[in-house]
Amino acid sequence: MKITMSVIKADIGSVGGHIAPSQKLLESVKQHVREKGRGLLIDSHISSTGDDIAILMTHTHGAGEERVHKLAWDAFVAGTAVAKSQGLYGAGQDLLKDAFSGNVHGMGPAVTEMEFEERPGEPVLFFAADKTDPGAFNFPLYLAFADPMNTPGIMLSPKLGKGFRFVIMDVEHTEGDRVIELSAPEELYDIATLLRDPERYVVESVWSRAAGTQAVSVATSRLHNIAGKYTGKDDPVMLVRTQMDFPATGEVLQPFSVGHFVAGCMRGSHNMPLMPVKMNAPISWFDGPPIVSCTAFCTRGGMLTEPVDAFDHPFWDRVRGHVADKAMDMRRQGFFGAAMLPMNELEYTGIMERLEVIEKRFTVRSMKKAA
Ligand code: F6R
Ligand code: MG
Ligand code: MG
């Protein structure tokens, strides 16, 4: 059976700062999707990661289906009313447009969708990250789908050995989707050359070359490119199908043990390590650290199993400790050098405004003529 999995995610308000949505807010979104999604959706799962609420939906209507997008948009609009009534912080923050127009692309919420023929056993991982941006997934996807040091399946399984096709988007280009397709392993160095710059080039999807089927789908929106001003980091979501023609679940999870540095954290303006956390985890230290959750499902006829928390295991407690150490080490150097993002990635305008004033006070010393 061919099914579509759609994830639409937004920050529409949170308790105690940019920490986590309230239970009442979550419940209102759940109730909306449950009631209005009847007859449209096969199944759904609503969760939070930091201050974001993600609506995961299964259906048969394909990607970009207006009714599915409208359902999520309306759920967020209804949630925003609840957020406002509770005095939640940043109520409706990610709803950048007033009226729904066809689909939620470019309207604020992050979207990722994948249409696929269900296999007899269909394991899917749903990743949600907060206090960072879509480039955060470049590193784990490169390792999981292109590096046999991470994924022994690339050597051990003839299917994986045929390699993977990466679709990569230039997210600086706002006039339309500027994409390139590159195949691993032949074009590995080209893939590496792009993915080393995660603020500009972002993996949008990954495909098995052996089966021609899609393994990965990432939400690539950059909010500040849409709004033209600071609106918070872009807090991406990602779907990954695993096993058989694709890397095993453990091969996909492994790169997250590195705690690689990503853009985000406090005021969306720092480099901080990405911490794998349990489902529905809040934000804390230094408005971070940037976090990622991973919920595992299987589907049959679009029906989801119960969610299993892929990062709720003693192994990841050790990783979390390691990532906290890395984060505190970086924080010790405050705003200096690599700790803070370069000028064009800062999410607030204060530094630019200050620089404009200081610039005028610079003088150029006249050079003494050589004797
Ligand atoms: C980062 C983030 C927070 C806020 C910070 C200040 O993405 O959401 O770190 O930037 O808490 O928030 P405001 O400007 O809303 O007071
Ligand atoms: Mg927020
Ligand atoms: Mg967020």
The pLDDT value recorded for residue 161 is 98
Q: What mean pLDDT is predicted for residues 337-359?
A: 92
Q: Catalytic: which of 11, 52, 94, 235?
A: 11
With cut-offs at 50, 70 and 90, classify the pLDDT of residue 346.
Answer: confident
DSSP string, 280-341: T----GGG---EEEEEEEEEETTEE---EETT-SHHHHHHHHHHHHHHHHHHTTTTSGGGB-
Total number of residues shown for the chain: 371
Ligand 1 pocket: which of 230, 267, 269, 331 to mutate (most atoms within 8 A of CB)? 267
In the residue annotation, 233 being an active-site residue is answered as: yes
Nearest CA to ligand 1 atom 3: 267
The pLDDT value recorded for residue 174 is 81
Pairing between β-strand 43-49 and β-strand 52-59 as defined by DSSP bridges: antiparallel
**What is the distance between the alpha carbons of residues 290 and 202, in angstroms, rounded to a whole number?**
18
The pLDDT value recorded for residue 221 is 80
Q: Catalytic: which of 36, 89, 162, 230?
A: 230
Q: Catalytic: which of 9, 70, 131, 233?
A: 233
Instruction: Give the tens place of pLDDT for each residue, 142-155.
Output: 999 999 999 999 99
Sort 354 into a burial class: Cβ within 10 Å, 0-12 / 13-18 / 19+.
Answer: exposed
DSSP string, 6-69: EEEEE---BBTTTTB--HHHHHHHHHHHHHHTTTT-SEEEEEEETTEEEEEEEESS-TT-HHHH
pTM above 0.85, yes or no: yes
User: Is 70 exceeded by the pLDDT of residue 233?
Assistant: no
The pLDDT value recorded for residue 224 is 61
Nearest CA to ligand 1 atom 14: 267
In the residue annotation, 230 being an active-site residue is answered as: yes
Structure tokens at 253: 């999870």
Ligand 1 pocket: which of 19, 229, 234, 266 to mutate (most atoms within 8 A of CB)? 266
Percent of the chain having pLDDT more than 70? 96
Instruction: Give the tens place of pLDDT for each residue, 37-51.
Output: 999 999 999 999 999
The pLDDT value recorded for residue 226 is 63
Lowest mean pLDDT among 23-32, 105-114, 287-296: 105-114
